[in-house]
Amino acid sequence: MRVVSYRSDRGVRAGLLLDDSVVDIWDALAGDGSSVRELLASGRLAEAAEISGGEPLALERVELAPPVPNPDKIVCIGLNYRAHAAEAGIDPPESPTFFAKFRNALVAPGATVALPAASAKVDFEAEVAFVVGRPAKDVAESDGLDQIAGYMLLNDLSARDLQFATPQWMPGKVFDGSAPCGPALVTPDEAGPEDRICFSLTLNGEQMQAASTDDLIFSVPALVAHLSRLMTLEPGDIVSTGTPAGVGSTREPRVWLKPGDEIAISSPTLGRLQTTIR
């Protein structure tokens, strides 16, 4: 199942993606909710898989929003691919490194993102993110996958000069539009095994990154267990699991994003996330 958020004259609504059309989930369920986050919090995600009716809206005429536009938390994991840690010359961490983004960072598939005026060194980072499906506190690793509603692609755009100006990375991670995501929230049955999700990134048609989540240092269930010991994870929370090797800041010469660049992250199971830079 592929769940999207789309804009309508009633605000942002939860939709079920069916081939080339979108069906409003809450209308089909005869419910009084509107958002994907409400769908998860109500425990009704599984019901959406049974939708067979509803008025289909042509996908080409629908404006998509980020799959979860209003999460309580956006948690991003750093240095979580063995190959990326190696290219950066850093030993794999013994515990997950993480930082936060905020809602202002989220933009939809197909969005145009303006480079921040404060930075001259903005980089790309292809990532697989998971979305929490139920409240999770002190979860055992063996139960970690039970807490996940689905997966999506995310581009952790990073202003490297700001990121490394202080010991904390967040100054380079929080500019407006720095987390394009989508195109849909893909439930685990369609996304495939969490340690076998393949994805790649191209910049202006040239492949820069290609990996599978089998190279993760800390697996998805391990991340759920670790983070849920530190805080309660809520339905709709986004956890982006890190980027693989090939980012622009480790290349010779360095590759920094510039106006007019086209970035596409693709996955056989999660779809295609395209972003234009201006």
Q: What is the DSSP string of 92-116?
A: PPSS-EEEEE-GGGEE-TT-EEPPP
Tokens of 58: 């042509």
The answer on pLDDT for 53 being more than 80 is no
Q: Where are the beta strands (DSSP E) in 96-175?
A: 97-101, 106-107, 112-113, 122-123, 126-132, 148-155, 158-159
Res 86: pLDDT: 87
Tokens of 262: 């086209």
Tokens of 108: 């939809």
Phi, psi (5° rounding) for residue 237?
Answer: -60, 140
Percent above pLDDT 70 for the chain: 100
The answer on pLDDT for 54 being more than 90 is no
Q: Which tens digits make up the pLDDT trace of 206-253?
A: 999 999 999 999 999 999 999 999 999 999 999 999 999 999 999 999
Global confidence as pTM: 0.97
Mean pLDDT over 51-65 rounds to: 91
Res 265: pLDDT: 98
Res 156: pLDDT: 98
Kind and range of the H or E run holding 186: strand 179-186
Asked if 278 and 114 touch (Cβ cutoff 8 Å), the reply is: yes
Res 217: pLDDT: 97
Q: Which tens digits make up the pLDDT trace of 103-134?
A: 999 999 999 999 999 999 999 999 999 999 99
Asked if 8 and 117 touch (Cβ cutoff 8 Å), the reply is: no
Tokens of 208: 């820069």
Average pLDDT score, the chain: 96
Confidence bin at 169 (pLDDT 50/70/90): very high
Asked if 201 and 265 touch (Cβ cutoff 8 Å), the reply is: yes
Res 161: pLDDT: 97
CA dihedral 99, 105, 107, 112 (to 10 degrees): -120
Q: Which tens digits make up the pLDDT trace of 11-48?
A: 999 999 998 999 999 999 999 999 999 999 999 999 99
Give the count of alpha carbons within 13 A of 26, CB side only: 19
